[in-house]
Structure 1
């Protein structure tokens, strides 16, 4: 999938990875990049087409799909983390995470899939798709595990129309979501460069950093060993 000359759309493009995706797509020659957000006035990226899109609102999704028309690349980047434990007092924030991370990704994909024959979809998942780290991230991790499975499923369902479906998995990038963690973080532009290199190479899954690679490799081993010392498993 070559980016040069394509028409692309990025969800959650007003900051962080989404903003970096929109900038990088333009730099690689995309002729039109729709940078979407709930508040399009918050988008300040020269050269993009700002577009309102709330991935939790079906009417908003349908309106965006109608306005955009045919599309070559869809980047499902929008996501939230609420620090919700699975067994806390309420499931409200877990539902919010699933509404955005799983249902939002699915519903946007359903709206744009018929327009993406011969094109590509890139879904931003997480290293937490494959492990649980702390109670405060368990709701998010569950939603990202579901998004990973969703990504694999739509890849099969869109194979006949030759739509490439790629997952970007990462652990630690320097975004608002990771602002409270005092650890080394990858700059967003480095993550996105790796992701778009993988997309252009036809990769089904792009692993953006070492901790994510370590988590993925651990899946074939004894989980007791991984969970006995998670920091060592991630960074060792």
Structure 2
């Protein structure tokens, strides 16, 4: 894919990885719509701010109407309430699923027809190593990201005949506000954005950014014993 000839909509583009993705794509010559709940927070020269709340159907419809020439959609917007599935706030658990799964699905349903009408292109869903592995205290987020991975697999099959290639981005710790309280190594958002753009350009289905994500991906074939060795 020639990113310099692409028109990209990035959700959650005002900070963190979304901002880094927007900057990277602009540096490669792409036309970029920077979606954010508050578009006034988009501060990158060259980007076109778009008001977009992925949990609000009217906002999504307005964003789709305001664009029209999108060929690449990057579903980056998401939250992590961090709820324990047994003890956490049920409303928080629903917020994780409503945003990360249903929000992503809603944006795809609104924008995919636009991409198809423009001759095809790509969708990139920003996932996580936690779509493949679960920490109980982050169970709500992990469940939502697992659902988003399943969504990604369904979409790549359903949209292939429309010329839309659907990819998933898997990354472990990243140096953003969402993971500020987490320990361990963290990849700079600019590095993740560069690898994501490389993967899009190469037509990859799974873009696996770091060693921990590759390790967990490899462990999937080993089943429960490989992923959760502490279980009796």
- Which category describes the TM-score, using the shorter chain as reference length? over 0.9
Match of 2:67 in 1: 68
Within 5 Å, give how 1:1-236 maps onto structure 2.
1-30=1-30, 32-88=31-87, 90-117=89-116, 118-133=120-135, 135-228=136-229
Q: SS where residue 55 of structure 1 aligns?
A: coil
What do the CA deviations read for 1:75-103 (whole angstroms, capped 9, x no partner)? 00001001111112531011101111000
Structure 1: which 5+ residue stretches go unaligned? Answer: 231-236
State the shift of 1:110 in Å.
0.2
Relative distance call for 1:51 and 1:222 in structure 2 (3 A) is: closer
Count of aligned residue pairs for this structure pair: 228
> Could you tell me the TM-score, scaled by structure 1's length?
0.93
What TM-score results when the alignment is normalised by the length of structure 2? 0.95
Distance 1:9 1:160 in 2: 21
In structure 1, what is the Cα distance between the partners aligned to 2:182 and 2:100? 21
- Structure 1 distance, partners of 2:95, 2:18, is 19
Q: Which runs of 4+ in 1 moved over 3 A?
A: none
Q: What SS is found at the alignment partner of 2:9?
A: strand
CA contact (8 A) 2:10 2:35 kept: yes
Q: CA deviation at 1:229?
A: 5.9
CA RMSD of aligned residues (A): 1.3
Deviations 1:19-63 (A, max 9, x none): 001001100111x21111111111111110111100000000000
